[in-house]
């Protein structure tokens, strides 16, 4: 059978379209499989890879803490992915009011929990490493709120103040302090966290209470 030049051209164009179509389809499949490949909720991730909207003041990466020792090599906030998602949602809510979350502590290796327990063996303030803290499970954060100028809202005590004044149940505080604590607590609870009675700064992800305790180091640049 003789094929004319124009028919050959048409055939080539036709084949070209098919190949083009196939390659586009293949690319789409690869793309969609990437997007549908969700990270497991329990995977440990670094918060900064998901948001740049947090203020970092990681106290245990400095000597400015009750251990009086720098126990983290660098100031990173590692958490389980589900904790990161809930924390970002909470931060977005604070940002609507011109505020942001400031982080003091996130995931805490079990070995550090043991060091803390040696200094403060009081479960009101430091979880017994035998049970493990929700920090060791990647589901707890120690935080406060800063305003649009980066200034911390007055919360009545410093972070890691181990006394009754740090409790949510302590009422002998200025009205503004009580309002600030309530603001922090309301937004966090709305986004899936529980408060902790004796520490205004501590929040546990409700969905993270039963995860495994972990003892790992994170990468420092």
- What does DSSP assign to residue 158? -
β-strands 193-196, 100-105 pairing: unpaired
| Segment lying near Zn ion (by CB under 5 A), choices 34-42, 75-83, 134-142, 184-192 | 134-142
Q: In angstroms, what is the minimal distance from the CB of 134 to Zn ion? A: 8
Catalytic residue at 199?
yes
For residue 137, which of 149, 129, 145 has the smallest C-alpha distance?
A: 129
Q: Give the footprint of Zn ion on residues 153-212 (CB under 5 A).
A: 202
Q: Give the footprint of Zn ion on residues 81-100 (CB under 5 A).
A: none
Q: Can you tell me the distance from the alpha carbon of 183 to that of 174, in angstroms, rounded to the nearest whole number? A: 14
Q: Can you tell me the distance from the alpha carbon of 139 to that of 150, in angstroms, rounded to the nearest whole number? A: 25
- What does DSSP assign to residue 140? E
CB-nearer residue toward Zn ion: 97 or 111: 111
CB-nearer residue toward Zn ion: 181 or 202: 202
CB-nearer residue toward Zn ion: 45 or 205: 205
CB-nearer residue toward Zn ion: 65 or 176: 65
Q: Write down the H helix ranges in the chain.
A: 5-36, 81-96, 110-119, 175-190
Q: In angstroms, what is the minimal distance from the CB of 141 to Zn ion? A: 7
CB-nearer residue toward Zn ion: 81 or 162: 162
Task: Specify binding-site residues.
Answer: 135, 142, 202
Q: In angstroms, what is the minimal distance from the CB of 140 to Zn ion? A: 5
Q: Which residues pair with 44 in a beta bridge?
A: 80
Task: Specify binding-site residues for Zn(2+).
Answer: 135, 142, 202
| Segment lying near Zn ion (by CB under 5 A), choices 35-43, 82-90, 135-143, 156-164 | 135-143
Q: Can you tell me the distance from the alpha carbon of 22 to that of 70, in angstroms, rounded to the nearest whole number? A: 57
Q: In angstroms, what is the minimal distance from the CB of 151 to Zn ion? A: 22
57 binds Zn ion (CB under 5 A): no
> Please, what is the end-to-end C-alpha distance for the chain in angstroms?
69
Chain position whose Cβ is nearest to Zn ion: 202
For residue 143, which of 81, 96, 113, 99 has the smallest C-alpha distance?
A: 99
Q: How many residues bind Zn ion (CB under 5 A)?
A: 2
Q: Looking at 76, 142, 160, 211, which residue binds Zn ion (CB under 5 A)?
A: 142
Give how far Cα 108 sits from Cα of 21, 35, 66, Å: 50, 30, 15
Q: In angstroms, what is the minimal distance from the CB of 43 to Zn ion? A: 21
β-strands 199-205, 140-146 pairing: antiparallel
- The catalytic residues are 199
Q: Which parts of this chain interact with Zn ion (CB under 5 A)?
A: 142, 202
């Amino acid at each position: 059978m003789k094929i004319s030049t124009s028919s050959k051209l048409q055939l080539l164009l036709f084949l070209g379209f098919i190949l083009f179509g196939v390659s586009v389809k293949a690319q789409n499949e690869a793309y969609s499989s990437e997007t549908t490949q969700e990270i497991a909720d329990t995977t440990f991730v670094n918060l900064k890879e998901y948001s740049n909207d947090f203020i970092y003041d990681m106290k245990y990466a400095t000597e400015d803490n009750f251990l009086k020792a720098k126990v983290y090599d660098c100031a990173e906030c590692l958490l389980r992915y589900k904790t990161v998602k809930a924390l970002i949602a909470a931060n977005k809510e604070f940002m609507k009011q011109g505020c942001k979350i400031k982080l003091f502590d996130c995931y805490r290796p079990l070995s550090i929990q043991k060091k803390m327990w040696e200094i403060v063996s009081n479960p009101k303030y430091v979880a017994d490493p035998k049970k493990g803290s929700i920090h060791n499970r990647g589901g707890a954060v120690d935080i406060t709120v800063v305003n649009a100028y980066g200034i911390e809202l007055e919360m009545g005590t410093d972070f890691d103040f181990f006394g009754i004044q740090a409790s949510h149940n302590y009422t002998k505080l200025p009205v503004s302090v009580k309002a600030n604590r309530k603001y922090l607590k309301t937004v966090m609870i709305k986004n899936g966290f529980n408060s902790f009675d004796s520490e205004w700064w501590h929040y546990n992800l409700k969905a993270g209470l039963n995860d495994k305790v972990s003892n790992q180091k994170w990468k420092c640049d």
